[in-house]
Amino acid sequence: MTNSEQELRRTSLYETHKASGAKMVPFAGYEMPVQYTGVIEEHNAVREAAGLFDVSHMGEFEARGKEAGAFIHKMVTNNVLRLEVGGVLYAAMCRTEGGIVDDLTVYRLDEERYMAVVNAANIEKDWEWMASHHAEDCEFENVSEQTGLLALQGPKAEPILAKLIPGGGDLAAIPYYGARYKNLAGCEVLVSRTGYTGEDGFELYCKSADAPALWEALMSEGEGEGLKPCGLGARDTLRTEMKYALYGNDIDESTHPLEAGLGWVVRYKAGDFIGREKLLALRAEGVKRKLVGFEMVDRGIPRHGAPILIDGEAAGEVTSGTMSPSLGKAIGIGYVPASNAEEGAALEIDIRGKARRAQIVKTPFYKKTETE
């Protein structure tokens, strides 16, 4: 066993994954399931029925106190001040110079209690960045270790979850990007109607120690509905079909929200936040490159890092790409010059030294109504 293997961390579901036949891989410092039975089968389960993911590696920070809302608001691009209790929003967190520190969701759990949910690979970096700005009148705590997180995603997610709550729990009352505390299988769970797949579904925050019992309860109630355990492989194909950004692939500190297509989560009028001035300047200047989605015309699968060519010249880079299980086509995401970012524009992708034709298409790549 090498050192890097010894240092990998495990979620409380590690034994459950091993017993379910998962193939484990290193991801963001954790040993995580990449697949159980097969990426395509798991992907299709989420699109057609439901899938259950362990995403306990994600980080959770809690801010409590009078200034908690103002503190989180200052750190992120979206308007945290408008959040009501039980509300959730998606945002970017930027450096003063506009580079993306992380993308995250923010929950208002109570009047003076907020939670920021960050990418696993960025927990330490985000913690340092946020803690260095945090207000006197606010407690700020990293609760990642004690928090378990399951994602139940797919058209059958709600009926499956309802089976765990006597009387069904009135899940229909939880709006998209809303969250409520519920008792599930004897565990206190924050039920959030959010996800990373493009399907209806929930993210379920619980005590880390409760995660295995919650997983088992969901699997046994859900099996008859077609629920399958899903790994990070399917999570990636599902999010790519929606063109949801993956930190470290599509966005990082060298990219800013406007070019990454995240302008919709930047709220300039709601008060100051870190990076606001720079983003205002960038907006006034006009964005020079854009993150677009494309489909391959020629054979080949675009992969992260492959050069994008326009008129034979290097013009950008692929940030994510895969064979789309739902569309049966090779699709990709990448940055191109804003002057060449129109839908229908021709690109070439350099795959192993050969230029292969591709075309910019409308995103998300996958639209629910087309297949129903």
Partner 1 sequence: MELPSGLKYSREHEWVRVEGNIAVIGITDFAQSELGDVVYVELPEVGTEVEANNTFGVVESVKAVSDLFAPVTGVVLEANTTLEDQPELVNSEPYEDGWMIRVEMKDESELNDLLEADSYRAYTEEEGG
What is the binding site for partner 1 (CB under 8 A)?
A: 23, 34-35, 38-40, 233, 236-237, 299-301, 303, 322-323, 325, 330, 352
Least distance to partner 1, CB of residue 50, Å? 20
Strand partners, 106: 89, 116
Instruction: Please name the residue that has the structure tokens 């009135």.
Output: 170
Least distance to partner 1, CB of residue 323, Å? 4
Amino acid letter, residue 201: G
Least distance to partner 1, CB of residue 86, Å? 36
Phi then psi dihedrals of residue 176, to 5 deg: -60, 135
Choose between 7 and 311: whose C-beta lies nearer to partner 1: 7
Pairing state between β 100-110 and 30-35: unpaired
Tokens describing residue 109: 């759990």
Choose between 158 and 295: whose C-beta lies nearer to partner 1: 295
Least distance to partner 1, CB of residue 25, Å? 9
Least distance to partner 1, CB of residue 38, Å? 5
For residues 371 and 208, give the distance between their C-alpha atoms in angstroms, rounded to a whole number.
37
Least distance to partner 1, CB of residue 351, Å? 9
Tokens describing residue 42: 């798991």
Choose between 239 and 256: whose C-beta lies nearer to partner 1: 239
Amino acid letter, residue 159: P
Least distance to partner 1, CB of residue 40, Å? 5
Tokens describing residue 11: 């979620």
Choose between 6 and 254: whose C-beta lies nearer to partner 1: 6
Least distance to partner 1, CB of residue 299, Å? 7
Instruction: Please name the residue that has the structure tokens 């960038």.
Output: 282
Choose between 206 and 296: whose C-beta lies nearer to partner 1: 296
Choose between 224 and 305: whose C-beta lies nearer to partner 1: 305
Choose between 308 and 351: whose C-beta lies nearer to partner 1: 351
Q: Which of 146, 148, 162 is nearest to 218 (CA)?
A: 162
**Are 287 and 325 contacting, i.e. CB atoms less than 8 angstroms apart?**
no
| E strand spans, the chain | 23-27, 30-35, 50-54, 59-64, 88-94, 100-110, 113-118, 139-142, 147-153, 179-184, 187-192, 201-207, 227-230, 289-296, 307-310, 313-324, 329-337, 346-351, 354-361
Pairing state between β 50-54 and 227-230: parallel
Instruction: Please name the residue that has the structure tokens 């936040």.
Output: 273
Choose between 59 and 233: whose C-beta lies nearer to partner 1: 233
Least distance to partner 1, CB of residue 32, Å? 13
For the chain, the helix, strand and coil percentages under 3-state DSSP, each to the nearest 5: 30, 35, 35
- For residue 51, the SS3 value is strand
Choose between 163 and 304: whose C-beta lies nearer to partner 1: 304
